[in-house]
Structure 1
Amino acid sequence: MRRVVSFLVRNWPLKLGSIVLASVLYAGLVLSQNVLVLPDAVPLEISDPPAGAVLLDSLPEVSNITYFAPADVGRGVGADDFRAMVDLSGVQPERTGGQVTVPVRVRAFDTRIVVRDWRPRQVTLRFDPVATLNVPVVVDLGTVPTTLDLGPPAADPPIVTVRGASSVVERVRQAVARMTIDASALNVDRLVDLIAVDQQGEVVSQVQIEPDLVQVRIPVSEREVSRSLPVVPHVVGTLPPGYQLRPIEVDPLAVTVSGEQSVIDEMTSVRTEPIDVAGRTTDLETDVLLAVPAGVEILGDPTASISIGIDAETGSRSFQAGLTLVGARPDRLYTLSVPEVVVTLSGPLSVLGSLDPRTLVTTVDVTDLDAGRHEVPVQLEAPEGTSAGPISPALVGVSISAPPTATPSPSPSVSPTPDATVLFTPSPSPPFAGP
């Protein structure tokens, strides 16, 4: 027994150290099998930032996080299971020239996870005192359609406050409300976001604008244009049958109109107010107003002088007419080859339509003709307002002979003078349906 005790206590420090070393090596072997590396970066957060100071730099992300975790936990761990922070409580940037170096701390939300290492282990942050500045609001209209006219824009409020790091705020010159104007010609009245810009118009970030929205109002109207357009008479009403319009004379032939472009673009001419010619048979001269759409103005005299000529429609018509002898002798017998002829008259259709064929007078002049057969031209006296055209036939055969001798008988002391005898003396006949 004494030998056993002597063996155990001999060189006991060396034996104890060997046991501890073996335990450490075993623990390291076991733990090394559960050391994991987080593949994702974790955003760095600030705790208790200093009052009256603004961070100038963007915070880096924390990566290369290694940790120990049980086998049933480690494989499902992600970036959301960790939190990386820098604690700025008690930090006074104004005493360190605005620059401080602080350690980065990383912990796991699950207490079974032990964070071993991460990068970076510390960060250097720059701070600036907080400053405020009042700047004017400027409305940037962007590209305005060429068809629009814009009134002066108004922003409410016209001045806003910019807040941020003093070195950044001092660069700001104005807050810009950037607009997009469409071609609808509707007035603008809406809330618009503000952007801080410097002297060159470059955007200045990392500042706050209070308020960050302004109400922008802009009167919008379509741009007025002018154009010369022809004047077109607006004639209404129907002329009586047999009458027609001559080409209408207009003075001036064209006028200049001014108005919104969308309206002017739709116009091809300027019409007059209605001119009524219903029932007219004579010419008409009048001054009449020009009619334009709402919003369109006539530059100059808004009236036009209109001259409308009205003519009777002309044509021709054929009639049948009986023949009358002129210059016949009472002691002769006259025989005509035809009892009537066809005559053609030209003139206004209204006159021809109302003409009574019984009033037509066609004559055959037999004055100084001796007995025998003769070809005598037919003559026509055209009614007023008409002119004579062809006569068919133009020549009529006339046979002239002495009447048969009568048996002598006692005669009264006074006897009447005998008249000329005409065979085929025409009687009035209905009109011939000519062309």
Structure 2
Amino acid sequence: MDKLFNSHWFVKIISFFIALMLFTMVNMDNLASQPGGVLPTINPTYTLEDVELTVLYDEENYAITDKTEHVQVNLRGPQAQLTLFQLTRPSYEVFVDVTDRGEGVHTLSVQHRNFPSELSVSIVPQYVRVELQEKQTVSFPVQVDIINSNEVEEGYTVGTPIVSPINVDVTAARNLVGEVSVAKAFVDVAGADRTIEETTPVKLYDKDGKELFLTVEPQVVDVKVPITSPNRLVPAKVTRIGELPEGLSINNIKIEPEEVTIYGPNDIIERTNVVDVGELDLNELTESETLEMTVPVPPGIERVSPEKVNVVVTIDEEDSVDFEDVPVETIGSQDDEDVTFNGTSNPTISIRAKGSAELLERLSLADIQVFVDVSDLAAGEHEVEVQVNGPPNIRFEVEDLMIPVEIIERTD
């Protein structure tokens, strides 16, 4: 084949036949147009099927609810012009114009433009029906559908999604807008182990769940789906250091909130029973005060919520009250031992309780435990420290801090 095209004579022969064809086509048209010509005067035709029908209308205020989509275009004219049309396919248009029409059903003649002037044009059907309806804009809240919510990482939970903007506007013909039941955005959380933030398209559905393809603004929304790691609510505490100035007493220390939420691996949060929010230096306090403290994150814990707490310290003037003949308990003794205090097994002492007047007013002997611990002592005589337990924010003074104790092993 390459040899043929490289042949000088082959190219000349092909050129001759092309020139002959063009000459014949032109002269056939000339003969057909001359009186008494040899050829018949009937021009050939060419048909365009399924030509898109353009509707010109007020797109800002109206929507098309019904129209003829396609028409048939028949062209008649000189063969040369038909052939040229088929080869060049000029930019033609078939249309109806309802820009000056309002809402309703309109029957109009189909128009055309940009066809060669040498060709006659006929369109089937000649008249078409177009229905216009006034546009309406309605706002719909966006509903976020979570896909695969049960397939997040083990122990993690899916929170309530946050969408922005929360509403979208749907603009369409009045009856089409009326078909919209819900606007949805979809987020797949399969395998998620952290919060998901993504931009997702908005889809419209009717009451039967069929998707509707209408104009929606905006077309996409931003969705945030919280994915929460395993968590647990535990008490918060504050560590006191130092002493208040003389004459002052703590009436109450309250942490707001009293509990915090810890997040992290299941095995670690199950072993964490309390979170220390920090140290409270009593040396620095001279009056009631509210302190904001940042909650430290314990080792192995991912985060703590809230990150800050308020420590409310109420300070009053210190008062005191005395209790006489308070019984002293013995703890830690063995079953084969007898414990005596200067020959008696039921000793009593005097103690002084110090605190705010409000706390002391509610204090009774039943709230106080005075004891000595002999669990680490062998048989014999000892000096043992007296210890006192009581309500928080009350301190106790013992007249005799050390008392003599004798431990005797039974021989029977």
Question: TM-score w.r.t. structure 2 length?
Answer: 0.43
